[in-house]
């Protein structure tokens, strides 16, 4: 063991010495000027291929093996970058797969470098930018990517940085996975955040657990799903002005379904994509073998896990599979039909002379019938048709007039000329007639005009009349709710707002609405208006928890509205959730909220409130004759929000000692989270293991999953640190 440690220390010392040769330049330098390998003279650098945060990749010629290679030379000089460089070498050295770049040689002089096979072609990023992906080629690419990563995972290597830039595509459409610089092996540090707090990896392709530092094999599945999403829509899953904004969306937002960005997308490929990028790890594919099987099944028109096949698609696939047989059957059927028709025509010609005699006999008999019957029938038909034609002639002009009166009423209403509008709406109602959509629409519009004129009884009567003909119209129900709110009946207003929200949501799920982007936008806009109205009533009634639910639903549809985050912050502040309130206010500022000074005062107020809570809790603890667990819990949570973690640990310790068994599970979970904030991995691991052993029944399903995941990752991290 001592000998191994000595060798390891010697190697690290040698690597550290090699890093003092030159500092990275801010300008692009010549390959031959700064990055030759004078001691071996083996490689002639020819061209810079790419440059990243850790190193530069060059196209080079191997003078010994007489072949073109790629050389990666490290740029940075800190120990962490050295470790990542070694990780990449170790990972690539273990992998030998046709869809993974081959590793050749590692060296340390004059700077650490390694060589790998040179691939001519484009990155997937280039292909996406050119928008040259079709369905078949995309399926083939995804199958190759999954084969490569399935192989890597089988060898206990998680890539952790899958993105279009790290996927090469050769001229013959062969995939090559590159850049294992962030790959995680079981004996390597497993942190997604560096000690400086910077995110290690590409934020657009990182799942929530990777941002938290909890990486598993399904993290790569999420990244592949994010890449697939970009291939399908030419947009990233989440877009934002900053990393913080994107991180927030990754944790809180639901991705836009790809078909809304590209209507031509296969619903089955979309379903696979969305299953890959589920926030909950357990809802994703369990491994790359399952995902690979899914892509192959879809390619071969077989059922997939992500979405059941429709009858229409099954029929289409059947037709494709048995096309030639069906064409033959159709041809034979047509041929037999033609033969039958020809034979029938021949038989008819033979029977004509025989039937002519019969016709001559009956002709005279028919001519002798009274001609007056024909005249009477004609007169009767004429009399019957008169009223019908009169109705048609009367209805059409009336409805046209009704439409004109309704349109004129809307014009008056938009100009705040409500009395004139009421007159026009009344004319529209008189002319429209029951059973026509314009009839109830005119009642609703007149109700709105009456409401503006403060003629509340007439307004209620018109809304009621409109709802008799169209009881499921969310706009009419919402309008009546506004009227209830206006007359001070908040309870009835809330009932109408809630019903209007249900109606709007069910309407949005109707296929004809979902297919029409214009109608979808209109209904979402209406839904947001209703949500905001209900939330504001909840705020007035001091039902802040219910208001918060509506504000959060609103922000899912409109994530860029700063005012919504301000209102969320106010609701949370009133609920005494000061830490969350501060984050909401900061989000509103980042989105350009106009009252920045007001929000800064709110943030300061929240921080002062936290300190005040700490002081009050301290006083209560000191005055209490008997120690109370809840007081320590309250103070511990406040300490955590102001980042006084050690004091939070002390209070959680006291609370755990004072609490009954049924309450301890959640407290151990809170304490473990604080240990993680302090980077005390061993203590956090002990708490999570204790929870797994004795308190799992006290936790929710997602908390249980989180505990299991953190135990796995912390065990690996602690094991590595001990080595």
Contact 583, 606 (CB under 8 A): no
Q: How many Cβ atoms sit within 10 Å of the Cβ of residue 253?
A: 16
CA dihedral 624, 627, 631, 637 (to 10 degrees): 140
H-helix segments, 95-199:
124-130, 135-154
Do 169 and 175 contact (CB within 8 A), yes or no? Answer: yes
488 conformational bin, left if phi > 0, alpha if psi -120 to 50, beta if neither: left
- Give all strands of the β-sheet with 55-62 in edge-to-edge order: 43-51, 55-62, 67-74, 113-117, 103-107
Query: Quick one: which of 225, 212, 163, 217 has its CA closest to 185?
Result: 217
162/152 Cα distance (integer angstroms): 12
170: Cβ contacts below 8 Å, ≥ 6 apart: 119, 120, 121, 176
- Bond from prior residue into 110 cis (ω within 30 degrees of 0): yes
* Among 273, 272, 292, CA closest to 151: 292
The DSSP element (H or E) to which 9 belongs, if any, is helix 2-18
- Strands 67-74, 175-177: pairing kind: unpaired
Tokens, residue 5: 């440690």
Structure tokens at 234: 């030419």
β pairing state of 103-107 and 55-62: unpaired
Number of Cβ within a 10 Å radius of residue 26 = 6
Whole-angstrom Cα distance, residue 391 to residue 409? 27
Q: Which positions make up the binding site?
A: 72
The binding site for ATP comprises 72
The rounded distance, in Å, linking the Cα atoms of 186 and 495 is 56
In sequence order, the 6+-apart residues with CB closer than 8 A to the CB of 384 are none
- Contact predicate 159/150, CB 8 Å: no
| Pair of tokens at residue 71 | 């050389």
Judge residue 196's burial from the number of C-beta atoms within 10 Å of its C-beta, 0-12 exposed, 13-18 middle, 19 or more buried.
Answer: exposed
Length of the chain: 723
**Can you tell me the distance from the alpha carbon of 580 to that of 562, in angstroms, rounded to the nearest whole number?**
15
DSSP 3-state of 193: strand
DSSP string, 260-318: GT-TTS-HHHHHHHHHHT-SSGGGS-SSHHHHHHHHHHHHTT---SSSPPPHHHHHHHH
Q: Encoding tokens for residue 534?
A: 């209900």
In Å, what is the CA distance from 137 to each residue of 119, 132, 233? 19, 9, 15
């Amino acid at each position: 063991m001592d000998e191994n440690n000595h060798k390891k220390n010697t190697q690290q010392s040698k690597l550290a010495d090699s890093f003092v040769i030159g500092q990275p330049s801010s300008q692009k330098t010549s390959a031959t000027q700064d990055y030759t390998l004078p001691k071996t003279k083996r490689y002639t650098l020819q061209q810079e291929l790419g440059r990243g945060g850790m190193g530069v990749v060059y196209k080079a010629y191997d003078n010994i093996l007489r072949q073109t290679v790629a050389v990666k030379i490290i740029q940075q000089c800190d120990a962490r970058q050295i470790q990542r460089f070694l990780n990449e070498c170790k990972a690539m050295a273990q992998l030998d797969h046709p869809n993974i770049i081959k590793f050749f040689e590692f060296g340390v002089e004059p700077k650490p470098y390694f060589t790998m096979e040179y691939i001519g072609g484009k990155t997937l990023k280039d292909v996406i930018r050119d928008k040259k992906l079709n369905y078949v080629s995309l399926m083939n690419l995804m199958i190759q990517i999954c084969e490569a990563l399935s192989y890597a995972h089988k060898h206990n290597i998680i890539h952790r940085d899958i993105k279009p830039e790290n996927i090469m595509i050769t001229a013959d459409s062969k995939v090559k996975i590159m850049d294992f610089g962030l790959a995680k092996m079981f004996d390597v540090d497993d942190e997604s955040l560096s000690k400086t707090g910077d995110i290690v990896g590409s934020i657009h392709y990182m799942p929530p657990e990777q941002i938290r530092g909890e990486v598993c094999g399904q993290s790569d599945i999420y990244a592949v799903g994010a890449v697939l999403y970009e291939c399908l829509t030419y947009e990233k899953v989440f877009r934002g002005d900053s990393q913080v904004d994107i991180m927030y969306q990754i944790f809180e937002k639901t991705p836009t379904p790809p078909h809304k960005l590209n209507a031509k997308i296969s619903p089955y490929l979309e379903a696979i994509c969305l299953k890959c990028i589920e926030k909950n790890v357990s809802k994703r594919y369990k491994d790359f073998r399952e995902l690979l099987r899914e892509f192959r099944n879809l390619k071969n028109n077989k059922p997939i896990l992500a979405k059941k096949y429709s009858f229409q698609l099954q029929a289409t696939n059947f037709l494709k599979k048995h096309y030639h047989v069906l064409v033959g059957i159709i041809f034979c059927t047509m041929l037999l039909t033609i033969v039958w028709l020809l034979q029938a025509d021949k038989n008819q010609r033979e029977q004509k002379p025989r039937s002519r005699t019969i016709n001559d006999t009956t002709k005279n008999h028919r001519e002798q019938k009274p001609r007056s019957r024909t005249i009477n029938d004609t007169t009767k038909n004429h009399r019957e048709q008169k009223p019908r034609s009169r109705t048609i002639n009367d209805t059409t002009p009336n409805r046209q007039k009704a439409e004109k009166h309704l349109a004129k009423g809307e014009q008056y209403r938009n100009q705040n000329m409500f009395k004139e509008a009421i007159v026009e709406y009344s004319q529209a109602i008189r002319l429209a007639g029951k059973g026509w959509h314009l009839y109830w629409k005119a009642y609703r519009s007149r109700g709105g005009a009456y409401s503006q004129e403060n003629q509340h009884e007439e307004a209620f009567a018109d809304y009621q009349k409109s709802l008799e003909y169209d009881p499921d119209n969310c706009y009419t129900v919402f309008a009546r709710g506004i009227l209830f709110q206006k007359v001070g009946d908040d309870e009835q207003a809330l009932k109408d707002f809630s019903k209007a929200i249900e109606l709007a949501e069910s309407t949005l799920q109707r296929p004809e609405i979902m297919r029409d982007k214009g109608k979808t936008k209109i209904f979402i806009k209406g839904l947001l208006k209703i949500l905001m109205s209900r939330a504001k009533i909840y705020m007035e009634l001091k039902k802040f928890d219910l208001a918060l639910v509506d504000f959060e639903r609103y922000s899912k549809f409109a994530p860029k509205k700063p005012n919504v985050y301000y209102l969320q912050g106010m609701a949370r502040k009133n609920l005494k959730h000061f830490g969350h309130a501060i984050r909401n206010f900061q989000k509103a500022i980042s989105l350009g909220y106009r009252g920045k000074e007001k929000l800064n005062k709110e943030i300061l107020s929240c921080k002062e409130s936290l300190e005040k809570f700490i002081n009050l809790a301290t006083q209560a603890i000191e005055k209490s004759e008997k120690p109370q667990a809840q007081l320590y819990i309250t103070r511990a949570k406040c300490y955590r929000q102001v980042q006084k973690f050690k004091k939070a640990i002390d209070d959680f310790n006291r609370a755990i000692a004072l609490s009954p068994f049924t309450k301890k599970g959640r407290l151990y979970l809170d304490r473990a989270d604080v240990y993680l904030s302090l980077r005390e991995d061993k203590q956090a691991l002990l708490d999570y293991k204790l929870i797994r052993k004795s308190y799992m029944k006290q936790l929710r399903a997602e908390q249980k999953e989180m505990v299991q995941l953190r135990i796995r990752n912390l065990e690996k991290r602690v094991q590595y640190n001990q080595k």
